[in-house]
Amino acid sequence: MNTSELIYQGDLRTMATHVYSGYNIITDAPLDNHGKAQSFSPTDLVATALAACMITTIAIQLKNENLALEGSKLEVRKTMQSFPRKISKIEIDFWVKGKGLTDDQKASIEKIANHCPVALSLHPELIQSVNFYYEN
């Protein structure tokens, strides 16, 4: 089964449909590459997918420990390289909300984040910088 189907809509815009759920995502080219930036660019989605993967895999582990991450926040910054045009750096500030997390649990959270499937799938030259801030 396909994961998604994508239709080019013209004017540097695509619509991707998640086959299983029917949910749609629109992408636009960024302003610095002939686009209108009216939605996520494909490279924005890569950076955002990294953050989403991190918090999702952490949440899976913490759920097994009866801990919750609700209210945690991730801010994502992407840096593009000019030639060849590609993402050179993804920076994530991760505010973890979790009452009573031990030092071992915090170390586990950071290890899981840095070894999530998306993190491991990205090119090793792409810099992934993640800062963790713990709020009780």
Please write the tens of the pLDDT for every residue from 108-122: 999 999 999 999 999
Report how far apart the first and last C-alpha atoms of the chain are (Å, whole number).
42
- Which domains, from first to last, does the chain contain? 4-33 (no CATH), 42-135 (3.30.300.20)
Give the pLDDT of residue 47. Answer: 98
Token digits of residue 81: 């390289």
Please write the tens of the pLDDT for every residue from 5-35: 999 999 999 999 999 999 999 999 999 899 9
Q: What are phi and psi for residue 123, nearest 5 degrees?
A: -60, 140
Distance CA 47, CA 40 (A): 10
Give the pLDDT of residue 19. Answer: 97
Please write the tens of the pLDDT for every residue from 46-81: 999 999 999 999 999 888 888 888 899 999 999 999
Give the DSSP letter of residue 120. Answer: H
Q: What is the dihedral of CA 30, 34, 18, 129, to 10 degrees?
A: -30
| pLDDT at residue 99 is higher than 80 | no
Other beta carbons less than 10 A from residue 65's beta carbon = 10
Buried b (16+ CB within 10 A) or exposed e, 3-42: eeeeeeeeebbbebeeeeeeeeeebbbbeeeebeeebbbe
| pLDDT at residue 103 is higher than 90 | yes
Token digits of residue 110: 């950071």
Distance CA 95, CA 30 (A): 27
Give the pLDDT of residue 135. Answer: 85
Give the pLDDT of residue 1. Answer: 85
